Amino acid sequence: MLGGISLATDELPLPLDLTKPVSLTWAIGATGSIDWHAVELWELSVDGVGATQLAKRYEVRGVTRTISLDPTLFTSGHYYMFRIAEHHDHPNASLGDFATYLYPVETVATWSHSFTVN
């Protein structure tokens, strides 16, 4: 959910209020222990020959499934996608400890549907 709106379909036009931080929340589709998350915001554009280009605009790591995004990351009329990776490898990440590493390591990542901000 971005700004309280589900990203359920591609090219969804989102009426985000870009005068305040934008909230992103998500759920995971599997059971198991997750230690931390990496969230990336990617901007989509079309190059001069019609190919889709991806450019990473932002990345944040955390231990909760809610983040607050600076509204200046978004430009009205532009297209975006999120990539969210869930990691199980740092058992004390919730305490700020990323030095302790635990095997076996597991990571799963998924992409959101594309959306445009208007």
* Domain of residue 57, CATH code: 2.60.40
Residue 41 corresponds to which tokens in the numbers above? Answer: 């915001």
Query: Is residue 25 one of the residues assigned to a domain?
Result: yes
Query: Is residue 1 one of the residues assigned to a domain?
Result: no
Query: Is residue 6 one of the residues assigned to a domain?
Result: no
pTM over 0.85: yes
- 48 — pLDDT class (breaks 50, 70, 90): confident
Taking the C-alpha atoms of residue 8 and residue 64, their distance in angstroms, rounded to an integer, is 21
Query: Is residue 63 one of the residues assigned to a domain?
Result: yes
Residue 12 corresponds to which tokens in the numbers above? Answer: 């969804």
- Percent of the chain topping pLDDT 70: 98
Compute the C-alpha angle 15/56/35, nearest 5°: 90
Residue 65 corresponds to which tokens in the numbers above? Answer: 């499934």
In a 3-state reduction of DSSP, which class is residue 1?
coil
Query: Is residue 7 one of the residues assigned to a domain?
Result: no
How many structural domains is the chain composed of?
Answer: 1
In a 3-state reduction of DSSP, which class is residue 71?
helix
* Structural domain span for residue 79: 12-117
- 30 — pLDDT class (breaks 50, 70, 90): low
Query: Is residue 66 one of the residues assigned to a domain?
Result: yes
Residues forming beta bridges with residue 40, ordered by sequence position: 59, 83
